[in-house]
Amino acid sequence: MPAFNANTKDMQFVLHEVLKASEQNIPGYDEMDADFTGAVLEEAGKIASEVLHPLNEVGDREGCQLENGVVRTPTGFKEAFDQMRHGGWTALDCDPAYGGQGLPYLMHTAVGEIMSASNMAFNMYPGLTHGAYSAIHAHGSDAQKQTFLPKMVTCEWTGTMNLTEPHCGTDLGLMRTRAEPQDDGSYKITGQKIFISAGDHDMADNIIHLVLAKISGAPEGIKGVSLFIVPKVLVNDDGSLGARNDLSVGKIEEKMGIHGNSTCVMNYDGATGYLLGEAHKGMRAMFTMMNEARIGVGLQGYAQSEVAYQNARAYALDRLQGRDVTGTKHPELAADPLIVHPDIRRNLMDQKSFVEGARAFAFWGANLIDRAHRNSDAEADGLISLMTPVIKGFLTDKGYEMTINAQQVYGGHGYIEEWGMSQFARDARIAMIYEGANGVQALDLVGRKLAQDGGKHVMGFFEMVKTFCKENESDEMAAFVEPLKKASKDLQAAGMYFMQAGMKNPNNALAGSYDFMHMMGHVCLGLMWARMARAAQDALANGAEDRDFYDAKLATARYYMARQLPATSMHLSRIETGADTLMALDAAHF
Amino acid sequence: MPAFNANTKDMQFVLHEVLKASEQNIPGYDEMDADFTGAVLEEAGKIASEVLHPLNEVGDREGCQLENGVVRTPTGFKEAFDQMRHGGWTALDCDPAYGGQGLPYLMHTAVGEIMSASNMAFNMYPGLTHGAYSAIHAHGSDAQKQTFLPKMVTCEWTGTMNLTEPHCGTDLGLMRTRAEPQDDGSYKITGQKIFISAGDHDMADNIIHLVLAKISGAPEGIKGVSLFIVPKVLVNDDGSLGARNDLSVGKIEEKMGIHGNSTCVMNYDGATGYLLGEAHKGMRAMFTMMNEARIGVGLQGYAQSEVAYQNARAYALDRLQGRDVTGTKHPELAADPLIVHPDIRRNLMDQKSFVEGARAFAFWGANLIDRAHRNSDAEADGLISLMTPVIKGFLTDKGYEMTINAQQVYGGHGYIEEWGMSQFARDARIAMIYEGANGVQALDLVGRKLAQDGGKHVMGFFEMVKTFCKENESDEMAAFVEPLKKASKDLQAAGMYFMQAGMKNPNNALAGSYDFMHMMGHVCLGLMWARMARAAQDALANGAEDRDFYDAKLATARYYMARQLPATSMHLSRIETGADTLMALDAAHF
C-alpha cells in the first residue's frame, strides 16, 4: 500500500548547491558532477522503488525463519539481493584494490538513504557487510584483506558484528566470550553473542563474523578485549570454501520490527577465529566499524521518516475530511483534503523540515569523513568524531518522532498494518537503541567528545557557525541567521555550564547530556537550514528555473527557525538545573 | 516476563491527601474513606496482577481470530472476563436501579487505571460496555433502559460504539450508513462501520452496538445523524434472546497492538435498530459516550506508562552495567546497576513525574465529573468539558513518549517481544489516535472549548491556579509555586495571542492548537504537582510515619518543576509565530 520515491531532486540540491561537492578539492570529488550523481541516484531510486520497497511489507509479514539450523529470509529477498550485488550497489565506495568502485563516502551515504528508506531491514545485510569490510580494510593483514575483502565488496560473503552478550551490552568489559590461542596462530572462540543482525541467512555463500572476545590471560575489563574474524565457513588457502566452522544460530529473536532482518543468538563452540588487528586492542578496531555504523544508523533514522513523510503527505492530499476553517477550498468535493487544516500542516512541516535538514546534516557528515580519510584532514576528523553521536542520537530520536507523526496523519488507518505506517514506526524504533542506545550517545558526546583534544572540535564548530553568520549578515538572511545565532548561544551557554558545574560534580554535566545532544542536533540542523536558505537565495538571484523548489526551501527554512529551533532554550533551562533533582531520590524510592 | 503491581499507595495519597475525597460534599463520597477505597484498590490490584496481567502477553501473541463468522478471543480471556464480571468490577459506578453499585466515577477511574495498566486490550471490552451503558442511561427510554442496562451492568451483554466508516472518521457528516423507518417504529440499518473495538467476541451472550446512521430524508451533514441501538441478537419482549440480527463481522483488522481486542469491520445489512434519543440528534447522544471514552483513553495513556515505568525501574535496579562516574557504588558486584547513571535517572524521573502527575490529573477530572453529575455543579461541568481534550490528548501523547522511554531503559532487550516493553509501546500508540486523534483534541480545545460560555471556564481555571498560588505563598512552597506561576503566565499569553491574532485569521489560533494542548497539560500537571507538594509538606509537618514516601513526592515535584514545566515557554514561542510559516507552502510543494 505505501509507496517510495527517492527524493533525488533534494539530494542533488544538497550535493551540488549546498555542499558544492564537485568543487571540493577531495580525491574522487571531481567526478561527482551533477550529471553523474543524478544518474547514480536515479538508478538507485529505481531499484529501491521497484524491487526493494515492494519487499518491505513482505519482509515484515514473513520475517526470517530458522529451519534445521539454517535461516530462511523472506520471499524475494535473495533475488533482490542478487540484483543489488550485480548492480554494484554494495561496492560503491569500496577500495578498487579489492573490486570496489572507489567513489566517495558521500555517494555511498546518498545511495544508502535511498536503500534504507525503501527497505530498512533488507539494507542491513549489505550495511553490516560494509562495516565489517571497513574494519578488515583498516586493521587486517594483507592476507586477511586478500582473502575476505573481494568477496565482501560484492556481498558474495556478508559480514556481521558480534559485541553484545546476554548480560552485557554497553559495558563490554564484562564480556565472557573467550579466545584460546592455537599452535597455528588461530584461536578457538567460545561464547554466546546476542542481537546479531544478519547473523545468518540464505543469501550469501559465507558470513564473516567479527567477534569480540577475550584471549585467555588478557587484562581485566575492556582493555582485555580483542577482535576476531570468524567465518561461518572456513576458507581454504586457495580461497575456496572448506569445512563449516563450529558456530551456530541459537535462535532468531522475535522483535518489534525489522522482521526482514535475522537477529540471531550466535553460539561459538570453539569456532576457529583469526585475530584482527592487535591483541587486546579489539575495541579500537571495532570502533572503526561502530563509528561508521552509528552514522549509518542516524541515516536510517531520518530515512524512515522520509518514506513515512512521503506517504503521510500523499494521504493528506488525498483524504477528504472537514472543511478549511477560513473558507471551503474544494466546493466540488464532499470535503476538503486534510492538508487544508493548520494542525495537519504543522505536523507535515515538522516532518518535512526535519527530513530535509537531516539529509543535509548526514551528507555534510559524510563529506567530513571523506575529507578526513581522503585528505587526512585532522579538523574534519575531529569534527565528525564530535558529530557522530549527534548524527546517531538526534537523527534517530527525531526520525522516530516524525515517523510517529506521519503515522498520526492517517488516523485509525495508521494503526492498521495494511497501510504500512505501523511498520515504518516499528522499524524506526530500533535505530534509537542499537549501535549504542541514545543515552550512551549523549554520554559519549558530553563525557568524551566535548573535551576531546582540549575542546578544540566543539570550539571549531562554534567558530564555523559564527563565521557563517558573519558572512551572511544581510537583510534577506536575517530570518535565518538571527535564530541560528540565538540557538548557538544557548548551546555555548550549556557547554559553559558543563565546564563550571561539571567541575564540581560530573553528574551536573551528565544529567544534561541528553538535552545537550538534542540542542546540538537543533543547532546543526539550524546551520544546515541557514546554508540551504543561502543556496536557495543564490539560486533565485541567479535566475534558477524551478523557482517553486527554492521558494519551498525558503519557506521550510523559515518554518524550522520559527517552530523547531526554539527548543534550544528549553533544553538549556533544563540543563542549568543541574543534577540535584535527578540524584535526590534514593534508588529504593523510585 | 514483565510484572504489574497496582500503585495503591499513590492512589490513596491522591484520593485522600490531595483530593480529600471523603471530606467533599458529594453524594456517595462520604463512604469513600481510606479503609474502603484501600480495600477496593487492593482487591482490584489482586485480580489485575494475578489474572489480567498474565493474559496481556497471551492476548498480544494470539490475537483474536474470526472463524466462521464468530470471533474467538485469546486463551483465558473468557474465564478472566467471567471472574471480573462476577466480582462486580464492571458495575462499580453504575446506577443501583439497574444493578450497579452506585459508587462515584472517581472510584471507577481509580480501578480503571489498574485494569487498564494490567491489560489494556482486555479492559476495552468492559470499557466500551460502560460507555454504551452511559449513553443508553442518559438518552434511552425507560423501556430501553429496562431491557438493556441490567445485562450491560453485569457485562452479560457488552457494548460497542460505531462511528467510523471507511471514507470518514473525524468528519462524520460524510457518513453513508442509512436507517429506514419501519412500521413498528424500529429501523433497518444498512452500511459498513470500521474500527469497531470489541465488535464481536465469545465472552458475552449479546453485544449491543450503538450505531450512528442517517434516517432517510434527514438533513445533510452532521445534523442529519441519529444514534441507534442495534443488538447482535434481538431481544424478545420478555427479555429473552431471539433471532440473530442482520449484521456480521466483515473482518478483524491486523493492528500494531491491542491484539487482544477484536477490532472489527461491521456490516449492517438491514439490521433492526432502535432510535436512541431524538432523531437527528445522534451526535449529542454519542458525545455522552465519547466524552467518557476520551477520559478513559487519557487514562489508558498514562496507565501504559505506569506499567512500563514499573518494569523499567525494576530493570534499572537489577541490570549491572558500567560504574557510577563519581565512584563505584557496588564494588562487590561486577558493575553498578543502571540506576547510578544520571541519564538513566533523567529518563526514569521523566516517567515517574509524569505518571504520578497524570494520575492526580485524571483523578481530579473524575472528581469534577462527580461534582457535575452528582451535585449538578455547572462550574465543574464547564471545567471538565475544557479539560477533556487535554486529558485525552496530553496524557496519551506523553504516556506514549514515556512508554517509549521505559522501553529505552532496556536497551536491545526493549526491542525483543519476550521482554514485554514492545507490547506496552505498541498498545499505547493507539491511545493517541482513537476517540478523536490528538490533533482533533487540540482543535476541540482551541477551536471550541476555550471560547465556550464566553471563555468562562478557562478563566475559571486561571483563577484557580492563581488562588492556589496566593494561598501557598510560603518559602517552602516557593519552589513549586513560582514555576507554576510562570507556566500559567505562558499559557495565558498564548490564550491572549489566540484572541488577538485569531481575530485576524483563525488559522493563527489553530496553528498553535497542538502546542497549546501540551502547554495546558503541563500547567495542569504543574498544578497537580504543586498540590501534591502541599499535601506532602502537610503530612510531614503532621508527623506522618512514612517520611520516605513524602520526601520522594517532594523530590519528584521538584523534578517536574525543573525539568518538565519549562516546556511551556517553548510552546509559547512556537505559538507566537502564528500561522504564516505553516500556510506558506502551496499544497503541491509539500
Q: pLDDT value at position B506?
A: 95
Chain A positions in Cβ-Cβ contact with residue B567 (cut-off 8 Å):
570
Minimum distance, in Å, between the CA of residue A146 and any CA atom of chain B? 34
Point out the residue among A164, A570, A585 whose CB comes nearest to the CB of B412: A164
pLDDT value at A289 more than 90: no
Distance, CA of A234 to CA of A355 (rounded, Å): 43
Query: β-strands B247-252, B241-244: how paired?
Result: unpaired
Assign A1 a pLDDT band (cuts: 50, 70, 90).
Answer: confident
CB distance A437–B344 less than 8 Å?
Answer: no
User: Which of A 325-384 lie inside 8 A of B, CB atoms?
Assistant: 325-326, 334-335, 337, 339-349, 352
Cα dihedral sign, A268-A274-A276-A277: positive
* Cell numbers at A354, concatenated: 526535519
Distance, CA of B523 to CA of A517 (rounded, Å): 26
Q: pLDDT value at position A292?
A: 82
Q: Which of A44-53, B167-176, B541-550 has the lowest mean pLDDT?
A: B167-176
Distance, CA of A156 to CA of A146 (rounded, Å): 14
| pLDDT tens-digit readout, B17-68 | 999 999 999 999 999 999 999 999 999 999 999 999 999 999 999 999 999 9
C-alpha A367: how far from chain center: 15
Chain A positions in Cβ-Cβ contact with residue B443 (cut-off 8 Å):
341, 343
The answer, for B254 touching chain A at a CB cutoff of 8 Å, is: yes
Q: pLDDT value at position B167?
A: 93
Q: pLDDT value at position A285?
A: 84
| Pick from B48, B192, B228, B226: nearest CA to B122 | B48
Q: pLDDT value at position B286?
A: 84
Q: pLDDT value at position B496?
A: 96
What is the end-to-end Cα distance of chain A in Å, rounded?
44
Over residues B383-407, the mean pLDDT reads: 98
CB distance A342–B507 less than 8 Å?
Answer: yes
Please state the φ and ψ torsions of residue B584, each to the nearest 5 degrees. -65, -40
Minimum distance, in Å, between the CA of residue B513 and any CA atom of chain A? 7
Nearest CA in chain A to B264: A416
Q: pLDDT value at position B157?
A: 98
- E strands along B126-262, which residues? 157-162, 178-181, 187-197, 206-215, 225-231, 233-235, 241-244, 247-252
The contacts of residue A329 (CB under 8 Å, 6+ apart) are A323, A336, A337, A340
ipTM rounded to 2 decimals: 0.97
Helical ranges in B275-377 per DSSP H:
282-318, 342-374
Over residues A551-571, the mean pLDDT reads: 97
Nearest CA in chain A to B346: A582
Assign B284 a pLDDT band (cuts: 50, 70, 90).
Answer: confident
| Pick from A196, A380, A366: nearest CA to A295 | A366
Point out the residue among B174, B255, B411 whose CB comes nearest to the CB of A416: B255
Bridge partners (DSSP) of residue B207 are B158
Q: Supply the DSSP string of B451-481, one letter for each residue.
A: TGGGGHHHHHHHHHHHHHHHHT-STTTHHHH
pLDDT value at A288 more than 90: no
Distance, CA of B175 to CA of B198 (rounded, Å): 21
Q: Supply the DSSP string of A370-421, one letter for each residue.
A: HHHHHS--HHHHHHHHHHHHHHHHHHHHHHHHHHHHHHHHTGGGGGBGGGSH
Angle, to 10 degrees, between the axis of helix A282-318 and the axis of helix A378-409?
40
| pLDDT tens-digit readout, B292-337 | 889 999 999 999 999 999 999 999 999 999 999 999 999 999 999 9
Bridge partners (DSSP) of residue B181 are B187
Cα dihedral sign, B473-B474-B476-B479: positive
Q: pLDDT value at position A284?
A: 86
Cα angle for residues A425, A429, A431 (degrees, 5° grid): 130
Q: Is B537 strand, coil or helix?
A: helix
Indicate which residue of B50, B379, B435, B482 is catalytic.
B435
Assign B1 a pLDDT band (cuts: 50, 70, 90).
Answer: confident
Greatest Cα pair distance, chain B, in angstroms, is 84
pLDDT value at A50 more than 90: yes
User: Which of A 431-490 lie inside 8 A of B, CB atoms?
Assistant: 432-434, 437-439, 442-443, 447
CB distance A415–B408 less than 8 Å?
Answer: no
Distance, CA of A569 to CA of A311 (rounded, Å): 32
Integer angstrom CA distances of residue A524 from A345, A351, A529: 24, 16, 9
Specify the amino acid at residue A358: A
Chain B positions in Cβ-Cβ contact with residue A442 (cut-off 8 Å):
343
Assign B291 a pLDDT band (cuts: 50, 70, 90).
Answer: confident
User: Which of A 149-188 lie inside 8 A of B, CB atoms?
Assistant: 164, 167-171, 174
User: Which of A 487-516 lie inside 8 A of B, CB atoms?
Assistant: 505-507, 510-511, 513-514
Chain A positions in Cβ-Cβ contact with residue B415 (cut-off 8 Å):
255-257, 429-430, 433-434
Query: β-strands B178-181, B187-197: how paired?
Result: antiparallel
The answer, for A404 touching chain B at a CB cutoff of 8 Å, is: yes
Mean pLDDT of chain A: 97
CB distance A439–B514 less than 8 Å?
Answer: no
Nearest CA in chain B to A441: B343
Write the Ramachandran bin of B87: left for phi over 0, alpha for psi from -120 to 50, otherwise beta. Answer: alpha
Chain A positions in Cβ-Cβ contact with residue B558 (cut-off 8 Å):
581, 584
Please state the φ and ψ torsions of residue B62, each to the nearest 5 degrees. -80, -35
Minimum distance, in Å, between the CA of residue B92 and any CA atom of chain A? 30
Over residues A123-138, the mean pLDDT reads: 96
Q: Is B179 strand, coil or helix?
A: strand
| pLDDT tens-digit readout, A432-457 | 999 999 999 999 999 999 999 999 99
Is the pTM higher than 0.90? The answer reads yes
Bridge partners (DSSP) of residue B208 are B159, B231
The share of chain B scoring above pLDDT 70, in percent, equals: 100
| Pick from B551, B557, B506: nearest CA to B531 | B557
Nearest CA in chain B to A418: B254
Cα dihedral sign, A63-A69-A75-A80: positive
Chain A positions in Cβ-Cβ contact with residue B438 (cut-off 8 Å):
408
Q: pLDDT value at position A527?
A: 98
pLDDT value at B252 more than 80: yes
Nearest CA in chain B to A428: B415
Residue A311 and residue A5 in contact, taking contact as beta carbons nearer than 8 Å: no
Nearest CA in chain B to A572: B566
| pLDDT tens-digit readout, A145-181 | 999 999 999 999 999 999 999 999 889 999 999 999 9
Integer angstrom CA distances of residue B154 from A157, B44, B82, B83: 63, 16, 10, 11
Minimum distance, in Å, between the CA of residue B305 and any CA atom of chain A? 14
Q: pLDDT value at position A73?
A: 98
Please state the φ and ψ torsions of residue A463, each to the nearest 5 degrees. -60, -40
Distance, CA of A137 to CA of A99 (rounded, Å): 13
CB distance A337–B585 less than 8 Å?
Answer: no
The answer, for B99 touching chain A at a CB cutoff of 8 Å, is: no
Q: pLDDT value at position A112?
A: 98
Write the Ramachandran bin of A368: left for phi over 0, alpha for psi from -120 to 50, otherwise beta. Answer: alpha
Q: pLDDT value at position A501?
A: 96
Q: pLDDT value at position B43?
A: 98
The share of chain A scoring above pLDDT 90, in percent, equals: 97
Q: Supply the DSSP string of B549-584, one letter for each residue.
A: HHHHHHHHHHHIIIIITTHHHHHHHHHTT-SHHHHS
The answer, for A195 touching chain B at a CB cutoff of 8 Å, is: yes
| pLDDT tens-digit readout, B253-279 | 999 999 999 999 999 999 999 999 999
Nearest CA in chain B to A329: B587
Q: pLDDT value at position B288?
A: 74
Mean pLDDT of chain B: 97
pLDDT value at A252 more than 80: yes
Q: Which of B581, B583, B586, B589 to mutate to test the interface with A (most CBs of A within 10 A)?
A: B581
